[in-house]
Chains A and B, each alone.
Chain A
Amino acid sequence: MSTVLQDLVNQPYQHGFVTDIEADVAPKGLSEDTIRLISGKKNEPEWLLELRLSAYRQWLKMEEPQWPNVKYPKIDFQAISYYSAPKPKKTLGSMNEVDPELLRTFEKLGVPMNERAKLAGVAVDVIFDSVSVATTYKAKLAEVGIIFCSISEAVHEHPELVRKYLGSVVPVGDNYYAALNSAVFTDGSFCFIPRGVKCPMDLSTYFRINTENTGQFERTLIVAEEGASVSYLEGCTAPKFDTNQLHAAVVELVALDDADIKYSTVQNWYAGDENGLGGIYNFVTKRGLCKGVNSRISWTQVETGSAITWKYPSCVLRGDNSVGEFYSVALTNHYQQADTGTKMIHLGKNTRSTIVSKGISAGHSNNSYRGLVRIAPTAAGARNYSQCDSMLIGERCGANTFPYIQVNNPSAKVEHEASTSKIGEDQLFYFAQRGVGAEEAVSMIINGFCKDVFQQLPMEFAVEATKLLGLKLEGSVG
């Protein structure tokens, strides 16, 4: 491996800083009292507390999943504080009243909050350590009837919608981490696109993990009614810490007849240092339900951060002719571990799904694609195409593919292919011959490799993602 590549990969994390804001932190530990405390602090209605408690009781009976291809020390769930809110100073009337410390944090992250937000045409619902601090563009969205707010706000203002859809795609007892999230989630985003409305702008939230030792348990719920469409962006960065932080989010998408939801993620949480110390544990349950006919849910993800990623954005294709898509780039370096992929559950007739997964492993990292394509007996004429490509950089990393294909209907057509490749010396030599340095050559090869996924991303994300991969791989090739 050349030194150029080494240097390239070993770039320090650029978003590592801790914002010094007094936080209102709940005592460590998890019990029914903790849950009542969270629910009480948030002034929640009785039904939500019941939902949390039922999730907690189911969680107690569950075992931590052992099947993912990842290794980490056992998590002490009693050593985590489940609630932390920036101390309220006073009610916020305008952006000017927002804590300047907080604004500076967003400045460093480059979040387009004020005028720039308007220019960028992005409404940002900022989650800062579990509590929504500011929401922009709400009025503009409200004009067309779109509800875009924090989930705690939605619980108070649109309880009937939240109650109807929360937990309808990911039941409270779905899996270990989803149950934990359902019990203790503090905040997240809620988005509702009414019948026939095309969301006029890309919606985006920015998640950040602050306050050391605080697990983050976001909950996102997006509902698109008949004929509605929305594109939702989620971007993540986190400060640099040495102790591992647990992140167990749940994202639920519901698409009714003819609705279209596009969910894009760029994830760049702290991955630990080059010796594998620290980093975020990212155990996420993301699932979309194509409930209506002709509905479509598309997941696009660029996963570059976290010490451990355990994440399978899935589509349940219940409506006839519904479409599920999954485009993913997962990059691991140093001692990162990723076990990620998707599930496409075909239930309705003529449902179609596409999976394009690109895994890049460097350093001592381990990158697994794990996917399920299930064609139920009812899914006549279902169609799936899956492509999983891996690229290995260096000889100490691993790339694995575990595709499960279960077909129970003879009229279905399922295809899966996977390949593995590397960045060849001859390729680099060819670039060098044309006057392109190793670093730039690697970046170009990687971008070519990931092109199928990047072109699914909204433009500003695509630009960011391209830069991010270059950054993450600095120093790993050569």
Chain B
Amino acid sequence: MNTASTSRYLDSLLQRQPPASSLTWLNELRANAVDRVGALSVPTTRDEDWRFTDISPLTKLSFQPARDAAQLAPATVEQWAITEASARLVFVDGIYAPQHSFNRAGITVENLASGVTRHDAAARAHLGRHAGFERNAFAALNTAFLHDGALIVVPRDMALAAPVHLLCIATRKQTASYPRCLVIAESGSSVTIIEDFVALQDEAYFTNAVTEIALAGNAEMHHVRAQREGAAAFHIANCAVSLAQASRYHSVSVALGARISRHNLGVLLAAEGAECSIDGLALIGGAQLADTHSLIDHALPQGKSRQLHKCIVDGAARAVFNGNIMVRTGAQRTDSSQSSRNLLLSGKARVDTKPQLEIFADDVKCAHGATVGQLDVDEVFYLNSRGLSDTAARNLLTYAFGAEIIGRIGVASLRNRLEQAVLAQTQTAAAGAARES
């Protein structure tokens, strides 16, 4: 597809923009983003960043933001409830649904559209500052539609044990939603945030999310991302994290749904002694494509990062992983390790992985590794020898492969639910694999 028609496609997405805000700077930010959308085009496989992910099926369909929020019965929403949560914001097709939301956390957890005026200074300092949209058409598009979303401000030294649940529900086809999330954790605070994407229907829709997270000195955050979109959905997410001195960021992302999903995660270790651990699991089958691009940017000394990304790929699905670790000049005593592990369950499944190191400092410890393979025959044989059937053995091993990541989620109810989902999916996958072999 040529550039002219793809950029026109982006223009077609710009219809039905939200009303102007009372804040001049916010209107300017949105106007800038609209300009960038006009200047950029939908990436193609000729762009290095999108080389393995062909997003062109998206451009064959048209999407519009929802006019109004669909009315959902409380019971419908409660099926995704996380019992431990102290606060919840629900967005239906991208529109804030106050009747399903609550906040008992004692911190700011509110809709961005209204919260941004109350937290003018803080929002202005962070919104659009971390997730740059200069060259990123999808982040620009999200910023152009910046309105409803989550604003979370954790005050100084506040340690919130119970998680905050952000639930995005897709109910209508051909809808584009632009969830936005801004998390500001002040110094010494700690918080757990769950971003949860679910659907009530299986036809095509488009989720284009942007999350910005700023951790001040010594702050700590656990971030869980559960992507359980509908089978025909397009899910594109940009998450940008900025870490101040000695702050700690832990993230677990699980991708189960969507026809094509893309998760860009950028973590900037912007001060000394920051730490992050980033774990991901993509469990896909059929004709799904799950793409994760991460950038861990060690800008200053003594940072530490750990990353484990796993993919279980069945059917004719395709998993893409591009993990970049950057150690900038002067970022001495950086300690970084990264691992990409991939399990192929079928003859048509495909994995493209690229763990990448760029190092410009000499006193560092950096390692990365990648493996691609199928279940170890010796392991299957061992379980066979203990009386497990071939199918049961394969189920168990596949499940265990994925469970390592799920097990790192600190919220028990969500962990159990995701474990069930993985179990269900591995059973169908293993049955398929057994048939094939």
Contacts and interface: CB of A to CB of B under 8 A. Distances in A.
Interface of A: 67, 375, 377, 390, 392-422
Given A398-B360, A399-B359, A405-B372, A417 B350 contact: no
B363 interface: yes
B354 A411 contact: no
Interface of B: 48, 52, 329-330, 332, 342, 344-374
15 contacts: A390-B357, A392-B359, A392-B361, A395-B363, A401-B355, A401-B357, A404-B352, A405-B354, A407-B351, A410-B374, A413-B374, A417-B368, A417-B369, A420-B364, A422-B363
Contacts of A401: 355-358, 368
A415 to B, nearest CB: 5
Contacts of A398: 358-360
Given A405-B354, A410-B349, A400 B359 contact: yes
Nearest to B334: A420
Given A393-B362, A394-B362, A407-B344, A420 B356 contact: no
A411 B363 CA distance: 39
Contacts of B351: 405-407
Nearest to B332: A395
Given A404-B354, A420-B364, A395 B370 contact: no
A418 B344 contact: no
9 A-B pairs with the lowest CB-CB distances in the bound complex, closest first: A410-B344, A392-B362, A401-B357, A416-B370, A417-B369, A414-B372, A407-B372, A420-B366, A413-B373
Nearest to A399: B359
B362 A397 contact: yes
Q: Which of B48, B342, B368 has the most CB of A within 10 A?
A: B368
Contacts of A419: 366-367
A395 B371 contact: no
B358 A400 contact: yes
Nearest to A411: B374
A422 B371 CA distance: 26
Contacts of B48: 67
A413 B367 CA distance: 20
Given A395-B330, A420-B366, A422-B362, A410 B345 contact: yes
Q: Which of A67, A397, A416 has the most CB of B within 10 A?
A: A416
Given A407-B372, A414-B372, A421-B365, 9 more contacts: A400-B359, A405-B352, A409-B347, A412-B344, A412-B373, A415-B369, A418-B367, A419-B367, A422-B362
A399 B344 CA distance: 31
A414 B370 contact: yes
A396 B360 CA distance: 7
A418 B355 contact: yes
A453 B247 CA distance: 42
Nearest to A1: B362
Contact of A395 (B352, B357, B362, B366): B362
A106 B374 CA distance: 55
A351 to B, nearest CB: 15
A403 B373 contact: no
Given A392-B359, A393-B362, A398-B359, A403 B347 contact: no
Contacts of A403: 354-356, 370
A407 B345 CA distance: 12
A414 B360 contact: no
Contacts of B349: 410
Nearest to B338: A418
A407 to B, nearest CB: 4
B334 to A, nearest CB: 10
A438 B179 CA distance: 58
A420 B367 contact: yes
Contacts of A417: 367-370
B374 A416 contact: no
Contacts of B353: 405, 407
Contacts of B366: 418-420
Contacts of A406: 52, 350-352
A402 B361 contact: no
Contact of A399 (B355, B357, B365): B357
B433 to A, nearest CB: 8
Contacts of B52: 406
A452 to B, nearest CB: 17
Contacts of B345: 410
Contact of A405 (B348, B359, B361, B370): B370
B357 A420 contact: yes
A67 B51 CA distance: 13
Q: Which of A392, A404, A405, A409 has the most CB of B within 10 A?
A: A405
A388 B208 CA distance: 37
Contacts of A412: 344, 372-373
Contacts of B369: 415-418
Contacts of B358: 398, 400-401
A375 B371 CA distance: 13
A336 to B, nearest CB: 15
B350 A390 contact: no
A417 to B, nearest CB: 4
A413 B372 contact: yes
A417 B352 CA distance: 16
B353 to A, nearest CB: 5
A407 B354 CA distance: 11
B73 to A, nearest CB: 43
